[in-house]
A = this chain, B = another copy of it.
């Protein structure tokens, strides 16, 4: 049997098992005559893209056998799940991971039954699919994930299949810029295979109807060196694809040697539903949108459809592909690479197997020296930049690669993390001009003005066993919110699979926050990602609101050390009043929330009112409010509480970080009113507090969607979270009406009136307000 024959038989076996998964609940090898009773009660799955996916898989397997290349397969058309499951099963990996799905008739029966079945596996490529780092649900991220996987993995080839539909999405469209960020000296190869069968669910696609000239022109213009493989004759397509992939490997060698500049890419055109039924009920199916999902829908009721299905299945000659026991015949099985070289078994797709702990230096070096609360001002993110600089230094390898990267939409310096540039540069594979700063094709700070690419690259980087951080303007983090959701879902399900290893957490630093985007205005003011994150799996999501620089440092280290989480760290880049020494910060962060005795006026008795804060600007305002209360009404017993770990507010049954009831009462008492200044939307706190004792006593102030181009102080006034608003609320809510309370209230109202008058008259000349400091 020639190699070609062998491989086309593998392809037939993969196609056979794909169809079997979609239709059959029994009789998986058609050893009995096919009857309606063998058919699943509910037909689900996507046939259309599957034969093409398996053809690519087959050719890659041959390439791996020929060259020993490490390959990762990223399935953009992830609805072709049954094809990937079929190939993983043929390679043996599936049975190694799921032993009950053995390589025999019983296992085959389980394989087809579990597909797209309640209690079984999803119809899409998913976390359950061996060899995948990419969920096949929400489209758009295949090429970004593939690119992230290739960064710093010089020996890896990431074959990234991109389907018709995916190619219409925004994130995918942006991802074509990868050649400007992939460094042949240090990065692996991303081999995009734009697999066009002409259609999405029910309509044709832009690229599907584009000419070869336009498609190759499009790719060439962005740094690729594309070739087109096209046809419907399997042997011809197989041979052509193999030749092109072999050429691509040669071209990659040229690239690494510096004798070529463009990365190879392949456009593959094959019929949708290739090898499926040509027509059904007199209507063309193969090659049209009608083969997208289940081409024969009436097989249980319609004997003609059933006969067509039997004919279709038998066209792959299952009896010649599987032996008497139901195992793949040996000469076909010989295509599969060995062990970890199998794409379904590659450790690159189970990144935890490659993960090494991040060498994190002690934090003392970066700590802000604080001699008493309020004694100094400092940017809250700059020390994180210094920490990351040294993380870069400690993780850079000899070939210029490494195991840590920072991703940021052109805001590294704006977000005050520029210390990293002492260690590495911005990455851009382009001519470097004398006026450029910190720019190099070998740089490893990833700046691209696309939150989608930053997030997607990082996800790909993490899932293949590395560490990283995505730093972004808080408001624009919503751009990639849906990606964060999908990643959280991935981690949630991955944790239930014993064979998936732990990966580094997805860490998102939200800075340039709503309160301090006063200069950029309302479009830049939005803390909504907190609300997006809260309802996601409590086993995955954490939200951190450090009040100052040393707490931010401590939290960042914790997040970089953590595994399998999505961490939001919300802290502003501007100079802020500092409160805690590093030692105090470490204690405070470990506790998640603390009473700040030094700021309150408790006398051992129950407090009359609690002032609580979560976030840096809220903390500043709460402390200013506490100061006013101390000055005017020192006999009022005020407690000041600071919350760093927002999820601690949730009841412990609802989140592993939820403070136990007793601890919650130690912080907030059981009955005192709490005036709570919160970084984000106030009702986010109320949703967390449901289930706590008497949650109605919490009076939350926060960002109330009021903003414009203004001053930081005006922002807290507009949103009624200013020190004066907090004092007024505290006076209203306190258990006792203090003696000079009316005087203090009058003072606060006067200050707010004065502010309003200033705003109206000559706001820009208002140093009294503009430069107001707590200390």
> Measuring CB to CB, which residues of chain A are less than 8 angstroms from any residue of chain B?
25, 40-42, 44, 113, 116-124, 126, 135-140, 165-166, 168-177, 180, 200-206, 209-210, 213-215, 217-218, 220-222, 284, 287-290, 410-414, 426, 428, 430-431, 433, 435-437, 439, 447-450, 452-453, 475-476, 478-479, 481-482, 485-486, 489, 492-493, 518-524, 526, 528, 531-532, 534-537, 681, 683-684, 686-688, 690, 694-696, 705, 708-711, 714, 759-760, 763-767, 770
A709 and B536 contact, CB distance less than 8 A = no
A118 and B759 contact, CB distance less than 8 A = yes
Give every chain B residue within 8 A of A714 (Cβ-Cβ).
118
Q: Which of B169, B177, B764 contacts A118 (CB 8 A)?
A: B764
Known: A439-B203, A521-B123. A452 touches B170 (CB 8 A): yes
Cα distance A389–B465 in the bound complex, in angstroms: 51
Q: Which of B449, B521, B759 contacts A169 (CB 8 A)?
A: B449
- The list of the 10 closest CB pairs from A to B, nearest first, reads A137-B523, A170-B170, A173-B173, A209-B430, A218-B221, A478-B482, A122-B521, A687-B687, A535-B681, A683-B687
- A155 shortest CB reach to chain B, Å: 26
Q: Which of B44, B116, B486, B683 contacts A535 (CB 8 A)?
A: B683
- A649 shortest CB reach to chain B, Å: 11
Cα distance A368–B519 in the bound complex, in angstroms: 53
Known: A479-B140, A535-B528. A519 touches B414 (CB 8 A): no
- A217 shortest CB reach to chain B, Å: 4
Cα distance A221–B217 in the bound complex, in angstroms: 6
Give every chain B residue within 8 A of A201 (Cβ-Cβ).
410-411, 413-414
A120 and B532 contact, CB distance less than 8 A = no
Q: A41-B764, A137-B475 are in contact. List 7 more A-B contacts (CB 8 A).
A: A41-B765, A118-B714, A168-B449, A173-B173, A200-B410, A489-B523, A683-B688
Copies of the chain in the assembly: 2
Give every chain B residue within 8 A of A708 (Cβ-Cβ).
122, 493
Tell me which of A522, A688, A696 has the highest count of chain B C-beta atoms within 10 A of its own C-beta.
Answer: A522
* Nearest B residue (CB) for A179: B206
28 examples of A-B residue contacts, CB within 8 angstroms: A41-B765, A41-B767, A117-B763, A118-B710, A120-B709, A122-B520, A122-B523, A122-B709, A126-B521, A136-B523, A138-B475, A168-B177, A170-B171, A202-B410, A214-B222, A217-B218, A217-B221, A218-B222, A287-B435, A288-B435, A478-B485, A481-B532, A493-B708, A531-B531, A534-B683, A535-B705, A537-B705, A686-B690
Give every chain B residue within 8 A of A534 (Cβ-Cβ).
531, 683
Give every chain B residue within 8 A of A493 (Cβ-Cβ).
522, 708
Cα distance A710–B123 in the bound complex, in angstroms: 11
Give every chain B residue within 8 A of A123 (Cβ-Cβ).
519-521, 709
Cα distance A678–B198 in the bound complex, in angstroms: 40
* Nearest B residue (CB) for A141: B170
Give every chain B residue within 8 A of A410 (Cβ-Cβ).
165, 200-203
Cα distance A492–B714 in the bound complex, in angstroms: 19
Cα distance A137–B437 in the bound complex, in angstroms: 25
- A447 shortest CB reach to chain B, Å: 5
* Nearest B residue (CB) for A684: B687
- A444 shortest CB reach to chain B, Å: 14
Cα distance A216–B334 in the bound complex, in angstroms: 48
* Nearest B residue (CB) for A695: B696
Cα distance A476–B210 in the bound complex, in angstroms: 26
- A313 shortest CB reach to chain B, Å: 19
- A482 shortest CB reach to chain B, Å: 4
